[in-house]
Amino acid sequence: MSPRRGATDLAGVLLIDKPAGPTSHDVVATVRRLTGERRIGHAGTLDPLATGLLVVLVGPYTRLERYLSASDKEYEAGIAFGAETDTDDAEGTVVRTADVPEDLLDRSTAVRLLAGVQGTHEQRPPAYSAIKVGGRVAHRDARAGVAVELDPRPVTIHEAELIGIDVGHARWDVRFRVSKGTYVRALARDLGRAAGSAAHLVALRRTAAGPASVADAFTLDDLASRAQEHGVEPLFADPLPLLGLPVVTASPTEVADGRPLPRDRFPGADGAAVAIAHGGALLAIYRAAPERLAAEVVLPRGAAA
């Protein structure tokens, strides 16, 4: 049988420092062009306005998306007060303006309001988002002039730390650590309303996704130059610490074809996901069941570590 078109032997995780402008899909297309591999995905979308860490998955590692996307994310955000937009960020059209109370640009007020958003609560996602409603993508309907009202969903704001205040531009700079599915654009919108004003996001940088840090990421220019010289394989990150899962050691033969492993290999709770490794290389993801460890994802032998 001939190889599938667009298939290579590449398998790994790339940490990319996305610039402002390109979409996450654009970054995927760039990696696809540089590698010749069609199976490219990412764990956690970044808006075009946003910069920072994008976790890109290559080859069979695209099957790890759901495990890597589940991580908490960290962001540095710029929030401008005085206007609300239809996209909740600077790329949108202003739909409401409001005065900026003088005390809103006082540190003690900012810290108090940020403390109020911490914890778990219901957040209404922006209409301009990739969420699907009835099989239709919300942002496409919104751009077509269709009224979009998305249902609130639970999110957790673990930390909301004030970095600084730019009084002249009525702007806060904030560091957030949030759960999967949190829209920082919506946080900016809701902070404006809670302050008795209006607000939108003017800058966003993802600095971490779970254990992965933007400090370890490559720019697209770095990726292109290094890929041309040595290929992308030397740039692959070790997936085991990025997954943050308990690790069970097994041989490649033991996990061949997804055969189950004895339950006593892992003393943790039923339902927990477990990374299976051999010699520091990721072999598979298993799930703990009452009587065995059952395979969910088995990677081909020789996949990058």
pLDDT single digits (tens) 61-111: 999 999 999 889 999 999 999 999 999 999 999 999 999 999 999 999 999
Q: How many residues does the chain have?
A: 305
Rg (CA), the chain: 22
Domain 73-204 has CATH 3.40.50.1000: no
Contacts of 161-167 with CB under 8 Å at 24 or more apart are: 161/114, 162/107, 162/110, 162/111, 162/114, 163/76, 165/105, 165/106, 165/107, 165/110, 167/105
Task: Count the alpha carbons within 13 Å of 284 in the hemisphere toward its beta carbon.
Answer: 26
CATH number at 245-305:
2.30.130.10
In this prediction, residue 131 carries a pLDDT of 57
262 - beta bridge partners?
292
H or E element, residue 94: strand 94-97
SS3 191: helix
Query: At 46, phi and psi to the nearest 5?
Result: -115, 135
Give pTM, 2 decimals. Answer: 0.89
Residues of the chain with CATH 3.30.2350.10: 73-204
The residues carrying an active-site annotation are 47
Those residues of the chain that have pLDDT short of 70 are: 1-7, 127-148, 150, 301-305
Q: How far is CA 234 from the centre of its chain?
A: 23
Structure tokens at 225: 């130059």
Beta-sheet pairing, 273-278 with 261-262: unpaired
Instruction: Quickly tell me which residue has 């966003």 as its tokens.
Output: 204
* CA 217 – CA 101 distance, rounded (Å): 40
Identify the architecture of domain 1-71+210-244 in CATH: 2-Layer Sandwich (3.30)
Question: According to CATH, where is 2.30.130.10 located in the chain?
Answer: 245-305
Q: What is residue 305's predicted lDDT score, i.e. its pLDDT? A: 47
Where do the CATH 3.30.70 domains begin and end in the chain?
1-71+210-244
- 256 secondary structure, DSSP code: G
Residue position matching structure tokens 């394989």 = 233
User: 73: how many CB neighbours lie within 10 A of its CB?
Assistant: 24
Question: Tens of pLDDT along 176-196?
Answer: 999 998 999 999 999 999 999
